Amino acid sequence: MYWTLELASKLEDAPWPATKDELIDYAVRSGAPLEVIENLQEIEDEGEVYESIEDIWPDYPSKDDFFFNEEEY
Distance of CA 43 to the CA centre of its chain: 12
The 10s digit of each residue's pLDDT in 51-63 is 999 898 888 776 5
Helix (H) or strand (E) holding 54: helix 53-56
Distance CA 13, CA 47 (A): 21
Is residue 4 within 8 A of residue 21, CB to CB? The reply is no
Distance CA 37, CA 42 (A): 9
Q: Residues near 62 by Cβ (< 8 Å), separated by ≥ 6?
A: 54
Q: Mean pLDDT over residues 23-27, rounded? A: 96
**What confidence score (pLDDT) does residue 5 get?**
85
Q: Is the pLDDT of residue 11 over 80?
A: yes
**What confidence score (pLDDT) does residue 36 get?**
96
Q: Is the pLDDT of residue 71 over 70?
A: no
29 pLDDT tier (thresholds 50, 70, 90) = very high
